[in-house]
A and B are shown apart, each in its own frame.
Chain A
């Protein structure tokens, strides 16, 4: 296990070292991250990176393949645009956690802020606690599991993201609807939660049957067909 100390080093130096050590096959612990921004951006090799404290904006952003654990909380845009890999936050995550991810898994053991999973295209997001305003906005694909409550406008304007909520939904967003969970959904919940959350956190959640399923009502997918001819001939 290699150790990196962040103090008195630039982000560029820290990230370069992380990438070099990952390529060399080392597991890495990054000490004193100090909530600095852009730690662990563009990690493109498999391997484990542990941040021993809180991180700032865009930690593990634009990542493909690594496994990142944050022993603290994270700022905005955690794991944004991730292609594959795993990011686990032991604390809370700020706004836009998992924005635009195209794969991989993001796990927030605490709460997450507004727009969690915004524009996610694929992959999995699990928030053990609650999530903020407009989470799931414009979700295109993948799955999002919220163990606790959601704030207003949950799942607004989604395409094909499927969400599960263990707590209360303050308000569904535009075109978001409740749907019946299938046996396959329940099995997916059991498997995912068992894989990514420790037993102590799972104990706070309902069983799979107690989760509400939220999907797109698909009414915003298209303008009304009757109007199409109008636009074909538009001025």
Chain B
């Protein structure tokens, strides 16, 4: 990888700004139709899935129902919820599809998540000590994190986290580690816990009480179907999200590195800390277009359906400036994530500046 000068970084940033402006200028009716169609398909799938589960005396109906419901929940969480909460559709001024009014089918209240995700994670992407999404405070995913015997168990923690990912996200949003430093009071945490319990309670009643009861004698198959759909969604979300930032080639940064960062440098950090996934258009929709993680991190508030069209332009820019553009198949990237989980479970020397990570002022990508 060749060195990139400060002037080149700013030029890179201006080029990205241009891409962003082009998309904003061309946002319109087709995009609006896209998100409304995805929402309609998602709701129809959900209703069909639940209806099929009610017919689950026939095993194929149970299977089809569970699959439809899981698909609906994945769409709801990823292509719709995540992206609406990013404000990607706020420009339509439709109060029904707006980041300030949206609530999603997860145990964590959207309001909490918007703070930890949109602000902490997207502003401070892969900055150690700032971005709490690095290992979700649970895992050691960067060699700069000091090792502790606790991390020996992290392959197991991660395997447990995957199916219960929505609970992981809810607890993660509590930021309990800030209690120790006194940055956050117990009262604040309790208030948040109450909100989570209220939300989670309704979620649990819906999937594990109300629908099973309505199914009468099919109580158990419906309950198991709903549980399976939730777990499937959780594992899928966990897999896609971990592939976005934690395959081996994604870089992490220190707070000193990002101090006084310019717009160009911010863009560069977003690029170096993110990894794309390759696949067909259906795969991208099911991944909430987080398979275009690089584009999503460069332009978190552009409509997700446009990432595919800007990706080649971003990639061409990376080639022009000699910057890496990390991408791979889901299988390959998942393998790399797990490799990292296993490797960093063991003590490793804490490097001063890791290979694949830019030098302190972010002025060159080594």
Asked if chains A and B come from one complex, the reply is: no
